[in-house]
Structures are given as C-alpha cells and as structure tokens.
Amino acid sequence: MPDKMSTVSCPECGKKYDVSNVSAGTKARCKCGCKFDVSSGASILVEYPASSIQHRVGSKDALAVVESLAQAKDTILNEVGKIIVGQKEVLNQILIAFFARGHCLLMGVPGLAKTMMVQSLAQTMLLKFNRIQFTPDLMPADITGTNILQSDPKTRQRKFVFQKGPVFTNVLLADEINRTPPKTQAALLEAMQEHKVTSSGHTHTLPEPFLVLATQNPIELEGTYPLPEAQLDRFILLIKVDYPNLEEEQQILLTTTGRDGEAIEGILDAKSVLKYQDLVRQVPISEHVAQYAARLCRATRPQSDEAPEFISEFVRYGCGPRAGQSLVLTAKAHVVLNGRFNVSCDDIRRYALPVFRHRMILNFAAASEGLDTDAVIKRLLDTVGESE
C-alpha cells in the first residue's frame, strides 16, 4: 500500500515539499539552508544555520550584532517616546528606511509633529540634523552651497572657497518639498542618489550616513510643484502620517502644555549606524522570496503578462525595478531590527504599501471608481500568491 503523501512548507522561505507519513518526525533541510522538522504535514523551525550566516556576514558575532540592533531599536523608540506620543508605526518605518540606506517621504497634514519626529530620531543617534523650509523663491545654491570669493589675510590673494550648504549633514529634513520649483527640487537628486554635490566642476562628498526626509501637505496644493516620478522613485518609502487616536491626543495635550519634557539621550553614533546599515545589506535572502518580490513588482505593470486584469483596468504605469530593490531592503532591515536574520514572504508583503504607493500611477478609470493606490495594492496582495 503506498504511503500517504502530505505537503509541508519551509518555515524560512515558504517552499513546499511533498513528503510521506513515514517521514514524520525526521529532519529536513531546504535549499535555502533552513533545517526543520517534518511532523504530520506541519513544519517546525529547528535552527537557522548560524555558520552559514556568519560565513556570509563575515563576522563571528553576527547574531549578537543583530540582537544588539534589536535592543537599540527598542531603546531609540523609548527615548523618542519622551517627546512624541504615539506614531509608533511611522517611527518604525523611518528607522527601517534609515538602516536600509533609503530616503523617506512623509505625507501628512500640518501639526502632526513630523519635524519633531525626525529631529528626535537624529538626536538619539547623535547625528547632525539640518532642516530646510522649501519655498517658491528657494534656489539650488541655498541647498547645496556656493562658491564665495575670499581674501587670504596673509598673502592678500583672493580665491573662491566653497561654502557648504545645509545638505552637508547626516539627516536632512526637506520640509514641504513640493513648494519649490523643479530646478531647486532637482538639486537634491545627486545628493540623494550619489551622496555627492557638484559645484563649479568640483565634487564634494556628503557625510555618512546621509538620509533625506521630505514632507508634503496633501491638503493645500495651490502653488505647489508635484515631484516628478524620477525623484519620487528615489524615496524608498512613502509614509502616511495620520491623526492620533483619542487617548494619544489627550496625552499630547497633557504633556505639551506644561513644562519641558525629559531630555533625549543618545543611543548610537554615526560609526555604529554605518555598521548596522552594512549588516542589513548582508542579510541572506532565498531565491523563493526574491522571486515573490519580483512577481509582485511585475504584477503592477499593465503591459506585463503577470498583471491581473484589474491592474490593466486601473493602472497607467506600474513600478520599476527599484521598487523590488526597496521591497527586499526594507524587509531585510525589518527582520534585523526585530532580532531575526531570515526574510520571509510575509516580510515582503508587510512593506508593499509604503514601497509601491508613490510608484504607481492610476488612470481615469480608477479615479472615477474612487480608488487610490493603497486600495489597488491591497487587492494585488490578495491576488498574487507566494507560490506560482
């Protein structure tokens, strides 16, 4: 009599295997390197191959570093919580983008403490913070810097000296970035992509780490200049900042109308931040998870064969390859900040909304149906499965 077959899934990458009941209680190892128990069609994670992790990371204490970063994240959020009430998910997504070496676009109405959130995070990591208020008369040199003619007091010779602009910092808050003309918006492109500034034929390197956090007001659009798609694509996440709930708003009123609150203590320095950013890049990812991220991205493109019918109906332009890179990097940063070193498909799905929402352009049919990008992305996640 043939053995009865059942299906088990790898707890690391989700790849499915057909096994017989006689295999129950035995151990199996997936192609991704994960070792697990096979028991009555269910799988239990036994171990993730630490030696493989250490080999790929190049450090004997890689797991200890992951644990230390997870603890640092909790400490950072607690410190910022002395000033900011609520907004835990927003703060978590900003940290995810920061350790993934990506820039963020914050979307929210005025008065939601967006500036204070960014400044508080910079203080906890002992990083230099600059803020630029974007206005219609702001010039590119006001951001990047300019050459000034100076005279040497000893030789009396005059020469041009580059005066660095506010972009030479670790954390740059571009407040209301859509209020300045495209010429000034473009001044940030080289800084965001290359971490460099070119002026008068000379290239100047920005300090590391470098992160741009831009804000936009979704209500008042008169006199604004929408960011072009090429610049929107440079932001790894578009984070929506919503109103606080009743309890949080009551706490805000109690804490902000009295004496000054507690001082924020520094948790990390620039050197530690760079080390953790490098660690995120070295997190291994299985081919199954990478394929799932790629299929999600390709499913957003109306001209793609993998696109569902409703994508062709409502979407004008889908996401490019940079969206897939952002999905993988944010998932890697998420697992490391939570004390893990393995990326699953659920981690990919978790950040599909903030990664895709500013990279998809809907058509008139979607507008007539009252659909926004979030609604289309949620439907897409329900349609595209983890396995082909």
Q: Where are the domains of the chain?
A: 5-47, 60-272, 283-383
Give the CA angle between residues 110, 113, 119 to the nearest 5°: 130
3-class DSSP state of 321: helix
The topology under which CATH files domain 283-383 is Helicase, Ruva Protein; domain 3 (1.10.8)
Q: pLDDT tens digits for 209-265?
A: 899 999 888 776 666 788 888 888 889 999 998 888 898 888 888 877 766 666 777
User: 321-337 and 62-80 helices cross at what angle (nearest 10)?
Assistant: 90
What is the biggest distance separating any 2 CA atoms in the chain, rounded to whole angstroms?
100
CB 245 within 8 A of CB 86: yes
Q: Which range has the worst mean pLDDT, 114-123, 145-154, 255-264, 324-333?
A: 255-264
CA distance 286 to 304: 24
Task: Kindly report the CATH number that applies to the domain delimited by 60-272.
Answer: 3.40.50.300
With 90 as the cut, is the pLDDT of residue 196 above it? no
Look up tokens 């520094």; give the residue. 266
Which pLDDT value is given to residue 40?
44
With 70 as the cut, is the pLDDT of residue 339 above it? yes
Contacts 24+ apart (CB under 8 A), 203-209: 204/145, 204/162, 204/164, 204/168, 206/167, 206/168, 207/128, 207/168, 207/169, 207/170, 207/270, 208/170, 208/270, 208/274, 209/98, 209/101, 209/127, 209/170, 209/270, 209/273, 209/274, 209/277
What does pTM read for this prediction?
Answer: 0.77
CA distance 281 to 343: 12
CA distance 38 to 135: 62
Q: Side by side, which strands form the sheet with 129-133?
A: 129-133, 171-175, 211-216, 103-107, 235-240
Q: Which range has the worst mean pLDDT, 95-109, 207-221, 326-340, 371-385?
A: 207-221
Which pLDDT value is given to residue 26?
62
The topology under which CATH files domain 5-47 is Rubrerythrin, domain 2 (2.20.28)
- CA 199 centroid distance within chain: 29
